[in-house]
Amino acid sequence: MQFELSEEHKMIQSAAKEFAIELKAGVIDRDEQAKFPTEFVKTMGELGFMGIMVPEQYGGSGMDTLAYVLALEEIAKIDASAAVIMSAHNSLVLYGLNEYGTEEQKQKYLVPLAKGEKLGAFALSEPEAGSDASSQHTTAEDKGDYYLLNGTKNWITNGGNADIYLVIAQTHPELGHKGINVLIVEKGTPGFSIGPKENKLGIRSSDTHSLMFTDVKVPKANRIGDDGFGFKFAMKTLDGGRIGIAAQALGIAAGAYELALAYSKERKTFGKPISNHQAIQFKLADMEVDIEAARLLTYKAAWTKDQGLPYGKAAAMAKLKASEVAMQHTIEAVQIHGGYGYVKEYHVERLMRDAKITQIYEGTSEIQRLVIAREILKD
């Protein structure tokens, strides 16, 4: 069993770490103003991060899932908003297009997305159904050579800044989940409108919107896969998405830990650094153990996917553990900072706010436990 990263993986990790240093400038202002990091997203495209797992022939970097996780972790340590923009784009949009798109769809949509010239969004969640892919109220009525799309999608990451949207919709209600399709919809298509930006607790500089579709004509050529493939598409996409969320949560936790560790060595009480006090040492030790456990689960999930093995359970386990560790230990990081932890300039309060969403999107912790339980009870 090999725990050492390859030289290529170390290079990706190092490049992401250097980029994250640039991200730190202005991160507090972007959070306060809920300002989308347009220029940094452009830079991520130039660095190859916005198409990291896409083959080079389609404009990507041709790297594996582990490389993607390593880059996400480093970016999330500094700016979880930038990380979720990158994650939704890669895990939820590019993966599906690369895996299941036609050659024509890849040339038209995947190439500019992988190059970072365009941004993608995945539209699954709805007001009535959340992330339940089997219960879609958005409809795609078959009109011969096109679909007529009607409905509303909620909580869409990159919703306002995306150029290309993958929309899950019901075509054959009588078939239930077997009648669902996934359609490629371009921004600016008549009848497609974008709601106001959500005013969120955390990951504030990533944009989250509702999307409204009113008699939107979508060519049949923009359907991914066979008629009725949408549910399977969504399930496969969410499995990979959970690895991305795990990497984000891992980065948030690790970033908070690094700040807390450094602060504990600088802050003095009773004439000595607080890191000399056992109460603080115990907290730091627990953080280190839990974060390393989350890291191993996340890397294993990425490795499992890269080996072509079933990775649904591994992804759910990584997402569950990493998100809970992120929430628990960003709180501890604030506690170690004391009153300063409540002040924005020390960053840990922002990381604590960012951590909470990792327990919610791509399925709550309870959903991850159900996924894991179903897998272990199969036999």
CATH topology of domain 231-377: Butyryl-CoA Dehydrogenase, subunit A; domain 3 (1.20.140)
List all residues 6 or more positions away from 164 whose beta carbon is below 8 Å from its beta carbon. Answer: 93, 109, 113, 118, 119, 120, 121, 184, 185, 186, 187
CA distance 89 to 58: 15
Q: SS3 for 189?
A: coil
CA distance 155 to 150: 17
Q: Which pLDDT band, with edges at 50, 70 and 90, does 164 fall under?
A: very high
Per the CB < 8 A criterion, the answer to whether 228 and 180 are in contact is yes
Per the CB < 8 A criterion, the answer to whether 66 and 302 are in contact is yes
pLDDT value at 133 more than 80: no
How far the first Cα of the chain sits from its last, in Å, is 27
Q: Which pLDDT band, with edges at 50, 70 and 90, does 120 fall under?
A: very high
Catalytic site includes residue 362: yes
Secondary element (H or E) of residue 355 = helix 348-357
Q: Give the residue extent of every domain in the chain.
A: 7-119, 121-228, 231-377
Q: SS3 for 48?
A: coil
CA distance 146 to 215: 11
Which token pair is 249?
């949560």
CATH topology of domain 121-228: Butyryl-CoA Dehydrogenase, subunit A; domain 2 (2.40.110)
Pick the CATH number of 7-119 from 1.20.120.160, 3.40.462.20, 3.40.50.150, 1.10.540.10: 1.10.540.10
Closest residue by Cα to residue 86 from 115, 108, 119, 117: 119
Chain CA centroid to CA 179, Å: 27
Encode pLDDT of 18-51 as tens digits. Answer: 999 999 999 999 999 999 999 999 999 999 999 9
pLDDT value at 102 more than 70: yes
Per the CB < 8 A criterion, the answer to whether 164 and 118 are in contact is yes
Residues 190, 119, 299: CA angle, nearest 5 degrees: 140
Total-model pTM = 0.96
What are φ and ψ of residue 156, in 5° steps? -90, 110
Could you say which of 7, 362, 366, 375 is catalytic? 362
CA distance 362 to 99: 19
Length in residues, the chain: 379
pLDDT, residue 84, reads: 98
Q: How many CB atoms lie within 10 A of CB 271?
A: 6
What are φ and ψ of residue 110, in 5° steps? -65, -45
pLDDT value at 343 more than 90: yes
Percent of the chain with pLDDT over 90: 94
Percent of the chain with pLDDT over 70: 98
Interval 89-93 mean pLDDT? 97
